[in-house]
Amino acid sequence: MAATADGHAPRARPTLERPRKAGFGDFSTNAALLLAPVLGEPPRDVAARLGDALSDRLGDALERVEVAGPGFLNLFLSDAWHRGALGGVVAAGARFGAGGAAVPERISVEFVSANPTGPLHVGHARNAAYGDALCRILSFHGHAIEREFYVNDFGSQVLRLGESLQARARGEEVPEDGYRGEYVAELAAEIEGAAQRPVEEVARAGAAAVLTRIAATLEAFGVGFDLWFSERTLHEGGDALVRRAYDELERQGRTYRSEGALWLRTSQLGDDKDRVLERSSGEHTYFASDVAYHQHKRERGFDRLLDVWGADHHGYVARMKAAFAALGGDPERLELLIMQFVNLTGGASMSKRAGDFVTLDDLVGEVGVDAARWFLLARSHDTTVEFDLDLAREQEPQNPVYYVQYAHARIASLLRAAQDAEREVALARPDRGAPLEAAERELIKKVLAFPGEVEEAAARRAPHRIAAYALELAQQFSAFYRDCPVLKAESADLRAQRLAVSAATQGIIARALDLLGVRAPASM
RNA sequence: GCCCCCGUAGCUCAGCUGGAUAGAGCGGCGGCCUUCUAAGCCGCGGGUCGCAGGUUCGAGUCCUGCCGGGGGCGCCA
């Protein structure tokens, strides 16, 4: 791009984009708008010349060009180009849109990480759905992903669980700051000798039992982990990881002693103030565990670390980043993704201590895995989700997820109706040279947008983009289904071509739903 | 007081690196099933993009300041 007359670089960059409105062509460029002041000519004249040049260059891939508005140049691609592109999609098969990452990375994604002191609730459900979908998207995009669940099985919370369990087992009142849910009584009955054994043992057994339940809940929700990392292991053994992290920090000159406690100089690295690692009592803080845990992650050699946290942890971001830098890490490679809250209405409180809250299991029981995941994933992670349980329960069939699944099922029905041989023939040669109806061309365009959507969703850590795209694709298929007979097309070629378009669409709907962890049924 | 997120249609939310008449779902009103699944389709109505400035040829989008909502600021986890 040439500099402007006054020698400064132009502020805006020339773009080649796919306009939202169909009337503005398949591609649109603002190049003429930016060139005009440099050339000293009217933007529309520049656009016209640019259009002529492109027409010569692109040949029959281009149907026509249009100068529009203040000087945009809109390019309309031909049917031949669209059919050729469709052929590419069909040929790519299940790999269409996959592996687009320019620099594949080995990434650790830590999510959920709920305390093993009670059942998962709706907030955890959002974290689980988001983290899982993010892993699926990043993996599909070409990254190597490891999924981790950090188990806080060491601190005072677990001890309180033990006290609560013991109280229940003895038929006593649960302590003021204890856990009161019904599950506590259930667990107390399950754990042998809960009334007599040392409270630490009861706590440990209780946490293990809760964790087993959590894992089962997550599995039913379609969420799995490669590693369940125990906080306790950070503190065990002579060469405890916590000690090693302290040593490393000391070597880097980042720690000091004051008032009997060991402090980390996080304020030198962007935090508001320094933080305590080891209390004057000799106990480690929760922060110390996290520092050691992240040091352990560093030692495992990831290119990037992602932590999915609840909104109540956002005050923790600065110190964690600072600690990561203090350990010698690049804070840019530690991403702390904050999930905003799920505001539950029409149901019970989400307070964990209240003992009466809507669990992930309850949620799934009410609306099913697919609707629950869709609902939690369809919104950006940094906006609060309004989840009306009554509405979700009553309006299940109106949920957009069913619309998308329905489109998939319809295509499956179409393909079933076609003979196997015909389907294969259609997919072997999708381009039959038949002219494209408007709805057909729009559907192909939507299909072709998929890799870009994956790229966007991966780069922005934004699964909700996939949900939005899936809905749009399903809508575009509905228009195609309405306007373009497939099985009843006038000619065999047209029938084959439309079968290919349908099959390609089906594959992408299935893939998009899979990236969200939602099923793609063959019939509904 | 400081920090983070949000403020777009009656409700719930999209809106990608600033671009051309601001979109969807739900809800409302009115139509469409001897025709590839009506869990569907079509049409209508509905918005000073919180407010005020600023940058720009161009701002829902970027900057500043207010207002409103949510959350967080512990030698708790």
Residue A63 sits in the same domain as residue A110: no
Distance between alpha carbon A133 and the CA centroid of its chain, in Å? 4
* Whole-number pLDDT of residue A8: 32
**How do residues A187-206 score in pLDDT, each as one tens digit?**
999 999 999 999 999 999 99
Tokens of A57: 């260059």
In a domain, residue A11? The reply is: no
* Whole-number pLDDT of residue A351: 37
Bridge partners (DSSP) listed for residue A147: A109
Tokens of A144: 């190597």
Q: Tell me which of A306, A322, A338 is where a domain ends.
A: A338
State the Cα–Cα distance between residues A505 and A96, nearest whole angstrom. 11
ipTM over 0.90: yes
Tokens of A32: 């003429």
Q: Tell me which of A77, A95, A114 is where a domain ends.
A: A77
Q: What is the CATH number of the domain that holds A444?
A: 1.10.730.10
**How do residues A382-408 score in pLDDT, each as one tens digit?**
888 888 777 777 767 778 899 999 999
Residue A275 sits in the same domain as residue A141: yes
In a domain, residue A171? The reply is: yes
* Whole-number pLDDT of residue A6: 31
Contact A181, A356 (CB under 8 A): yes
Residue A476 sits in the same domain as residue A433: yes
In a domain, residue A10? The reply is: no
Minimum mean pLDDT range among A23-37, A362-376, A380-394, A481-495: A23-37
Residue A50 sits in the same domain as residue A112: no
- Strand B nucleotides within 7 Å of a protein CB: 2-7, 11-21, 23-27, 35-37, 39-42, 56-58, 69-77
Residue A118 sits in the same domain as residue A67: no
Query: In three state form, how does the secondary structure of A101-117 look?
Result: CCCCCEEEEECCCCCCC
C1' nearest to CA of A276: which nucleotide? B75
Structural domains in chain A (count): 3
Share the mean pLDDT of chain A: 88
Residue A49 sits in the same domain as residue A129: no
In a domain, residue A344? The reply is: no
Q: Tell me which of A287, A304, A338 is where a domain ends.
A: A338
Minimum mean pLDDT range among A56-60, A125-129, A359-363: A56-60
Residue A40 sits in the same domain as residue A112: no
In a domain, residue A99? The reply is: no
Residue A225 sits in the same domain as residue A265: yes
Contact A258, A280 (CB under 8 A): no
- Calculate the angstrom distance between C1' of B41 and CA of A481: 10
Determine how β-strand A72-77 pairs with β-strand A62-68.
antiparallel
In a domain, residue A504? The reply is: yes
State the Cα–Cα distance between residues A127 and A113, nearest whole angstrom. 9
* Whole-number pLDDT of residue A37: 67
Distance between alpha carbon A27 and the CA centroid of its chain, in Å? 28
Residue A66 sits in the same domain as residue A112: no
Q: What is the CATH number of the domain that holds A72?
A: 3.30.1360.70
Residue A114 sits in the same domain as residue A195: yes
Residue A256 sits in the same domain as residue A140: yes
- A116, pLDDT greater than 90: yes
- Calculate the angstrom distance between C1' of B52 and CA of A380: 28
- A106, pLDDT greater than 70: yes
Contact A338, A130 (CB under 8 A): no
Containing structural domain, residue A427: 397-516
| Distances A519 to A397, A414, A509 between C-alpha atoms, Å | 15, 19, 10
